[in-house]
Structure 1
Amino acid sequence: MSALADAVAARRSYSRVTEAAPSHDELLPLIAAAGRVADHSSLHPWRVIELRGSARRRLGAAFVKDARASGSEAEKLAAKPLRSSLLLAIVAVRTASDKVPGWEQDTVASGVAHLLSLLLHDAGWGVIWRTGHQTRSKAVHTMHGLKKNERLLGWLYVGGIPDGSKEGHRKAIDPERYLTALD
């Protein structure tokens, strides 16, 4: 296999990461590279929102507001965005187009998220992509400053890989199960 294929095969999800995280300037070339994803009509129907520090606490508050939670449930929800010192919100930005339907624009944004997770992993960072019903929450959308044509796909939680971590190990898939051919 190539070095690229080896790097992709080595990718893992890390639900636990250290406080270390790439800087804004370290993210820029990775975002630029992820932006090379296949993009019909070059609409660039995506953006990434960097959440650090108090932005993560505001996101937790939006989770609590959405759930109308209180007590220990509220504390648990509010703490979710604090699992990592850096969250990257992946946003699909739909543009009116006769050629490219909205679902296809969303797949471009999803492709950016996946490429970015691979690039971050290859750069030595632990990453996990988290989604859930909160991505459709009005409170969460407001907190992110999303416009009517934008959809939150989820967050990449990014941080350092803990020493000795074997987290996220998965068995290889059987490619014969997923690859079919038509004659």
Structure 2
Amino acid sequence: MLLHVKNMVCGRCIVAVREQMEKLNFLVSDITLGTVQIHPDPEGTQLENIGASLKLLGFELIDKEKDQLVERVKNVIIELVHHSDLANLDQSMVSMIASGVNRDYTYLSRLFSDSEGLTIEKFIIYQKIEKVKELIGYGELNLNEISVKMGYSSSSHLSAQFKAITGLSPSKFKSAGSPGRMAIDKI
């Protein structure tokens, strides 16, 4: 049975969900961000037990198709922003989201806005700013290098967007000890 799981945003989440399924005596045949294929199919109250055990770890089973699509959009964006080099994308993020979810972008955009109360574009910006906060905190790249890595047209564009979201310039954020990071699944 294919289960859709909310808040799976990183490799550690995959490990945690796999371990939980195995503790519940299910064989995991495939697992990716947002989905886990288990065998045998859950019977009786087993699905409720799976949901309860995942909830203890901060995950949630998703049963509605529209909610599954929204979560898939989020997972594509998180994968692109946090685990890819945005400077080297050979197509637009919009087309990558649409092809990653295999749906029309206009439909996804409307569905996402209705469900989450913000646009896909705003969600992308929030995710990018969280990644920028992380990179600033590491102190390995300067602002120009970060802006290139994150796909910004210039460091001034990044700085303006960063200040609009956080209320601080990147340099003030760095000098303040990189405060206010958010968990990816809480954005």
Please report the TM-score for the alignment, with normalisation by the length of structure 1: 0.24
Please report the TM-score for the alignment, with normalisation by the length of structure 2: 0.24
The structure with more strand, counted as a fraction of residues: 1
The structure with more helix, counted as a fraction of residues: 2
Higher relative contact order (CA closer than 8 Å, sequence separation 6+)? 1
